[in-house]
Structure formats: C-alpha cells, structure tokens
A and B are shown apart, each in its own frame.
Chain A
Amino acid sequence: MNAKRFNIDIPQAALDDLQDRLSKARFPDEAEAVAAGWHNGTDIAYMKELVDYWRRKYDWRKHEARLNKFAQFKAEVNGVDIHFIHERSKKPNAKPIILTHGWPDSFYRFHKVIPLLAEDFDIVVPSLPGFGFSERKAMNSSAVADLWAKLMTEVLGYPLFLAAGGDLGSPVTKALAMHHADVVEAVHLTDVGYPTGQEDPSTLTEAEQEFVNMAQWWSMTEGAYLFVQGNKPQSIAYGLNDSPVGLAAWIISFANGSNETAVAEEAFGGRDELLTNIMIYWLTETAGSAARMHREEAKTTYGGDWNAGLAAPQRSDVPAAVALFPGDSQFPREWAERQGLNVRRFTKLPKGGHFAALDAPEVFAKDLRESFAELA
C-alpha cells in the first residue's frame, strides 16, 4: 500500500462549464423571497450578489495553487482511494495527528491550522470517503475509522497516533477511540454527538436535559439537511450535482444556521474560503456521495428493528479532550461521558463556532496543542 504524490489540477473545461452554468442560473421567484430574507433558507438577495462575485471575482486557480502548497497524496486503503494532506514536522519523533472534517466542510476545514500545528506534530488531513478528492464511496464513521487506523499505521507507518475531529469527523474520531484503542493515544473533539431520541430522560442531569431539549428544537427548525441526506440523499443529489447555485445555496443554508444575516462567510473565514469549500464539492462532483454518508450514519444508528431500541455506546479508555466553542451547541461534561468517552479534559473556549478550525484557528490550535500535551 503505497501513497502517491497528488496535486489538484482541475481541467479548464470544468471551470468553463461552471462559468457557463453560473451565467445561465435560473433564480427562483423573488417577491416573497426578498421579504423573507433568511427565514425560509438562503436569502435570495445574498445569493444573487454571491453568484455575481463567484463569476467575476473569484479565482479558483489562485486557491488551487495555495492548496497545492500542502504535500498531498493518494493511497488505496481497504480498496478505497483516499486523498490526504501529510505535512511532516521538522522535529524528530513528532507525534502524528489525524484531523477529520465533516459536512458541509471538507479537508479545507483545517487549512489554517495545519501551519500552526505542523511545527510540533506530523499532520494528516484526509478527505472522508465520498468527499473531495477521495473516492466517491460513502461509508459510515466506524468503517472510516477502520480505514484511518490502516492509513496511519500501515500506509504511513506510525505505531501510535492522535486523532481529532468535529461534525462527521467526531463520530469517526470516537470510533477510533472505541475500536482502535491499541493505536490511538488520545483524541480531541469539538462536538461529541446529539440525542438519538432513545435517551431515558430520568437518567439525564438537568444540564443534559437542557441540551437535549435544545437539540430537539434545533433538529426540528434547523436540521433539515440531516433528514434529507439521512433519508433520501439521492433525491437531492440530482439538483446539487447539476446546479452550482443550488449546491451553494444548500451548503450556505446550513453553514449559516439560524442566523438572519450572511454569517456563513464568517464561519468559513471569508467569502473566498466559503466559495473554495463549495468548489471542492462542485468540481469533484461529490455533493451526492457526501450526502450519502449521512444516510450511512442513519442506517448504522437506526438500521435495526425500530422496536428493539438502540445499543448503548461502547466505552473507551482512550483519554479524550472535549473543546466547547461558544458559537456551537453547549452540552455538559456528563453528556460527553455518556457517549462512552473517557473525558479527561473539558474546556470552554472564548471564541469560535462549529467550524472553529476555520473561524478561530489560533484558539483551536492552542487547545489542541494543550490537550495533547496533557493527555498523551
């Protein structure tokens, strides 16, 4: 299993085709949409302005060249073609960290923190299967964890490694802690999982109950993508893969959350960064396969007999650090422990949101560094 060097090199024809589609975009009806602003989803005035910027100002080649400054590779692991960044520290015996992204971000989630961490750690940032430049094969988080363990130990030859992740990267990192305790030294998580609807309310602390109520409220008002992509990802894939405007509006809608202004750009660290992340989905045609990962996760959780209930989470001995950012959902320490994690550090950070590695890179990198100094 050898890793081959990889550079991103999008054919000009794909960029020309995108220009063509953007120039022909057919926007939905305007009158009521303008009045609704962000209330019903991505704001139409914002979208029109963004598409104009995308066509006239945004320069993919500039960002492609920046991404290619990272040492990137492809390797076949368990029969799946995996794309990853591998930046080695100059320090001998630097510990390796594998950083796992989620949806609707990509390996690009970590582009700002790699230089901040690569001095002390060897950094590995893969694209999840089905995402970006990895093979378009959707897998559940547990299967991804098996693949990551193999990538780190067999392809890259590290006997032990550290793991960190958020969003879908969180269940992957948790599965590494649960099933690969022999090779995973410690983990760092920025979220730890959400209620499944099967919790016994009588066993929840007051703070947990509050979080569960919030999460239920959130899923009924903001969690549409989870229902759509968790149930019928193929139905949305046609539109997402055919219309760059549709894809952008879908991603921005959920990156923006319940905010009534365009905070998605801020969440991704800037307008160009937001568009680069969308371009990674568009140019690789992975909106459909990425959406299918939510389906794979849902099948793993709810795939059994509905009447039998869910299995209790396995417990892990691997030391876990949990970082809670003020812009993300707030859960108490005992909720993280309930997920089977061996929580040894629980830190509330002053700044950052769900994509903290993008909107608060220094804070994220500092906490990661301190966590692993303490736990590993």
Chain B
Amino acid sequence: MHEERSSTSPHIQFVWRAHVKESGRFTDLAHNFWVLVFRSLHDKLDVRLTGPVTKSLPISYEAGQVNWGIVFKAHVFIRDLPKKDMLNKSTTLPMVSRDSFMLGTHVIQIPTYDTAEEFVEDLVRGGILNANMDIAKALEATAPAMSVRTLQRHYKRTTGLTQSQSEQVARARRAFMLLQEGKSIVEAAFEAGYADQAHLTRSLKLLAGQTPGEILADQQRS
C-alpha cells in the first residue's frame, strides 16, 4: 500500500506513507530536495535524511515495514547542514529515545503522517529549517530581484545543486513521468525540452538509471 497527500505547508511538496508487503528494491529518481523518511519495523523506529540526488539511487525496503516521509520543497534548507555535503548521500539520524531523534544539535519528536505540517512549522519557528523565498521564485522560473551571480550563489547554497543541474533533474523527472504516461520517446524528449533523443537517453540513464526504452517497456508491462 502506498499513498501520498499534498500539503497546506508552503515548504512541503507532499507527504507519503507505505506499508511494505514484500521486501524489494526500487530506483529513486534524481531530485533537488531534502527527504525525511521515518521507518518502523517490529515497533523499532528510525529516521533517514536524504540530500539532493543527481543520479538514480537504489533504495531497498523490507517486508513488514511501515514507512512515511516528508518531501520538502527545493527552497528549504536545514541550518548547519549544507546540502552540498549531503549531495547524493543518505544518512540515518541518531535516535535519542524511542520516538525522538537528533537533527544537528536539536532533539526532535517524530511526527505522524497526519502531523507533518505542525512538525515542519515547529522546525521553521525553531530556526532549524530555513526557506529561501528568492530561490523558490527562481525554481518557479519567476525572476527574483538579485544579480545573476548572487542568485547562483544562493541557489547552490539553498538547493545544493547548480541551477543547470537542477534544471536537468527537473527535465528528467518530467520526461520520466511522460514516458510512464505512455508518451513516445520522441514526444517525451520534445515536451520535456530536450535538444534531441540522445540527450533524453543520456539524462535518464544518469538520473533514473534506465533508458527511455526500458521505462516505456516497464510502463507497457504494468
């Protein structure tokens, strides 16, 4: 079982939860945001934090696990934890008690699927999470009022990626969705804004771990 919900928080892309019936692996797509995942197995909880990812990342899960997570927006950053240091990395955060963990120097209570918003609100109020609204604008492709150099610097600090890396990730995610919707490779390449099919192939091999042909074949099988 896997479900997702959107959020009223401006800092959250979506919240998800899953009940794992069978152990397995899946390949996560490249992305430019923080992901916080809570996992419980046999009543034991742990917390994983994943930084921005510029290549496909294999993730394994175990039968019996109940997992939930918060996917942040790309303009959100964690104070004292530079995203660039967490590029392509995932780390298990230290547990303090059965249901609280350490984020930097702060002890934080694990939220539930339904209390993600209050959890994030508390972190923002406590100054542990920060949001760069200029970068939020840049991500939405509305120009913020600062010089290109300054924007580039802030962008890198906030998202951990350069703007061009971030754009490549966004394009690849879009193309991946289009192929999953059953669009042809030519259509997906065009709609996601690739110069040609070779660029689409390159990008998906790198960022999703599959060629467009393989993604299409998967889509047709399922």
Contacts and interface: CB of A to CB of B under 8 A. Distances in A.
Interface string A301-337: 0000000000000111110000000000000000000
A307 B173 CA distance: 40
Nearest to A337: B164
B198 interface: yes
Interface in B154-200: 164, 168, 195-199
Given A317-B168, A342-B164, A178 B202 contact: no
Contact of A178 (B168, B195, B203): B195
A318 B202 contact: yes
Nearest to B205: A182
A111 interface: no
A182 B201 contact: yes
Contacts of A180: 198
A280 to B, nearest CB: 33
A181 B164 contact: no
Interface in A155-199: 178-184
Contacts of A179: 196, 198
Contacts of A315: 195
Contacts of B203: 181, 317
B192 to A, nearest CB: 12
A317 B193 CA distance: 12
B168 A181 contact: no
Interface residues on B, range: 10 to 19
Contacts of A184: 202
A184 B196 CA distance: 14
A281 B131 CA distance: 63
A342 B202 CA distance: 14
A115 B195 CA distance: 37
A342 B203 CA distance: 13
A184 B164 CA distance: 18
A316 B205 contact: no
Interface string A325-364: 0000000000000000010000000000000000000000
A316 B195 contact: yes
Given A314-B195, A315-B195, A316-B195, A182 B164 contact: no
Contacts of B201: 181-182
Contacts of B168: 317
Nearest to A340: B195
Contacts of B202: 181-182, 184, 317-318
Interface in B29-77: none
Contacts of A314: 195-196
The listed residue with most B CB atoms (<10 A of its CB), out of A180, A181, A314, A317, is A317
A153 B133 CA distance: 46
Interface in B90-129: none
A342 B201 CA distance: 17
A314 B199 CA distance: 11
Nearest to A184: B202
Nearest to B198: A182
A314 B164 CA distance: 16
The listed residue with most A CB atoms (<10 A of its CB), out of B164, B168, B202, is B202
A203 to B, nearest CB: 14
Nearest to A314: B195
Contacts of A182: 197-199, 201-202, 205
A315 B168 CA distance: 12
Contacts of B205: 182
A182 B196 CA distance: 10
Contacts of B197: 182
B125 to A, nearest CB: 38
The listed residue with most A CB atoms (<10 A of its CB), out of B196, B197, B203, is B196
A179 B197 CA distance: 9
Interface string B22-34: 0000000000000
B205 to A, nearest CB: 7
A374 to B, nearest CB: 14
A134 B195 CA distance: 32
Contacts of A183: 198
Contacts of B198: 179-183
A316 B203 CA distance: 11
A183 B197 CA distance: 12
B140 to A, nearest CB: 22
The listed residue with most B CB atoms (<10 A of its CB), out of A182, A183, A314, A318, is A182
Q: 9 nearest interchain CB pairs?
A: A182-B201, A182-B198, A181-B202, A181-B199, A181-B198, A182-B202, A314-B195, A317-B199, A180-B198
16 contacts: A179-B196, A179-B198, A180-B198, A181-B195, A181-B198, A181-B199, A181-B201, A181-B202, A182-B197, A182-B198, A182-B202, A314-B195, A314-B196, A316-B199, A317-B195, A342-B164
Given A179-B198, A181-B202, A182-B202, 5 more contacts: A180-B198, A314-B195, A317-B199, A317-B202, A317-B203
